[in-house]
């Protein structure tokens, strides 16, 4: 794990080093999130759920305690389908009076809870649901923890007619945008993946990119940073408390 100055609390006892697969680590992070949010839920609680392979692990664990909360809000059509397959009630965000917590993975996360998300092209709906929640819980394997965001290409959702216009603006910001051909978002838009960005001021760059005409949303989650993250590694699950660095 990168050497990063944040308050990290090991939530499992130190044990003999065992190498785990990435799928096993995602599962452990999902289980840690359930242990964290479970005691906070009641029959009126509504849980926001992210998108991707790590979120899928969380959904499968959430199904085991579905009797303890009211409903969910999904950040993508794929997530909605998986929740429904478990018999979990899924509400439209517009019909939701409140959202207690949002749980999702990350492509990168720094010590302050800023993230890059959007590898699965669901970044806009993920950011919307995250913004509606009282708390954002990130789950990932510990390889996602970085000192500075930007090694992972930054996804930007773009209205199709503005693809070239937005690409030129992203080049002016120091990036190398590549069109993710063959991918259409749930909103009917396209994705530009921006390489070679050093994101040392996440909130500022998030706002600058969002100001470009034609940009729907970008994958920097600084305004909607994670409050807490559970990062699974071979030595257990580590808690990153971004609210108390």
pLDDT number for residue 148: 97
98 belongs to a structural domain:
yes
- CATH code (residue 48): 3.40.50.1360
DSSP state of 6: S
Summarize the confidence of residues 155-181 as an average pLDDT.
Answer: 98
Strands 136-141, 108-109: pairing is unpaired
Give the tokens for residue 71. 């409903």
- Asked whether residue 201 falls in the same domain as residue 95, the answer is no
Residues 103-114: tens digit of each pLDDT: 999 999 999 999
Contacts of 201 (CB under 8 A, 6+ apart): none
- Asked whether residue 90 falls in the same domain as residue 165, the answer is no
Question: What is the set of active-site residues?
Answer: 126
- Asked whether residue 32 falls in the same domain as residue 59, the answer is yes
Alpha helices per DSSP H over 51-156: 53-62, 77-85, 123-132
Tally of domains within the chain? 2
Sign of CA dihedral 135, 31, 233, 128: negative
- Asked whether residue 117 falls in the same domain as residue 31, the answer is yes
pLDDT number for residue 242: 80
- Asked whether residue 32 falls in the same domain as residue 75, the answer is yes
- Asked whether residue 190 falls in the same domain as residue 140, the answer is no
Whether pLDDT at 5 is above 80: no
Give the span between the Cα atoms of 239 and 66, in whole angstroms: 24
2 belongs to a structural domain:
no
Which of the four pLDDT bands, split at 50, 70 and 90, describes residue 29?
very high
- Asked whether residue 206 falls in the same domain as residue 179, the answer is yes
pLDDT number for residue 55: 97
Structural domain including 116 reads 8-147+223-241
- Asked whether residue 193 falls in the same domain as residue 115, the answer is no
The three-state secondary structure class of 167 is helix
Which of the four pLDDT bands, split at 50, 70 and 90, describes residue 167?
very high
- Asked whether residue 139 falls in the same domain as residue 158, the answer is no
The helix (H) or strand (E) run that includes residue 34 is helix 22-37
103 belongs to a structural domain:
yes
- Asked whether residue 142 falls in the same domain as residue 161, the answer is no
Residues 194-240: tens digit of each pLDDT: 999 989 999 999 999 999 999 999 999 999 999 999 999 999 999 99
Between 21 and 149, residue with greater pLDDT: 149
DSSP state of 67: G
Widest distance between CA atoms in the chain:
55
Helix axes 22-37, 53-62, angle to 10 degrees: 50
120 belongs to a structural domain:
yes
């Amino acid at each position: 794990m990168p050497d990063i100055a944040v308050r990290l609390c090991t939530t499992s006892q130190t044990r003999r080093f065992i190498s785990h697969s990435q799928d096993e680590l995602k599962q452990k992070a999902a289980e840690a999130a359930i242990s964290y949010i479970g005691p906070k839920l009641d029959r009126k609680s509504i849980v926001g759920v992210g998108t991707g392979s790590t979120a899928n692990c969380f959904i499968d664990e959430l199904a085991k305690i579905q009797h303890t909360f009211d409903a969910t809000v999904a950040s993508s059509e794929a997530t909605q389908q998986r929740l429904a397959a478990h018999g979990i009630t899924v509400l439209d965000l517009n019909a939701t009076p409140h959202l207690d917590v949002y749980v999702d993975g990350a492509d990168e996360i720094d010590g302050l809870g800023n993230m890059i998300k959007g590898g699965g092209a669901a970044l806009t709906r993920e950011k919307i649901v995250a913004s509606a929640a009282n708390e954002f819980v990130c789950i990932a394997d510990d390889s996602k923890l970085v000192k500075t965001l930007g090694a992972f290409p930054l996804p930007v959702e773009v209205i199709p007619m503005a693809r070239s216009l937005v690409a030129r603006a992203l080049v002016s910001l120091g990036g190398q945008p590549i069109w993710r051909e063959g991918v259409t978002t749930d909103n009917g838009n396209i994705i530009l993946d921006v390489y070679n960005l050093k994101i040392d001021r996440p909130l500022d760059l998030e706002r600058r990119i969002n100001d470009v005409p034609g940009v729907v949303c970008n994958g920097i989650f600084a305004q909607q940073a994670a409050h807490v993250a559970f990062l699974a590694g071979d030595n257990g699950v580590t808690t990153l408390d971004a609210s108390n660095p």
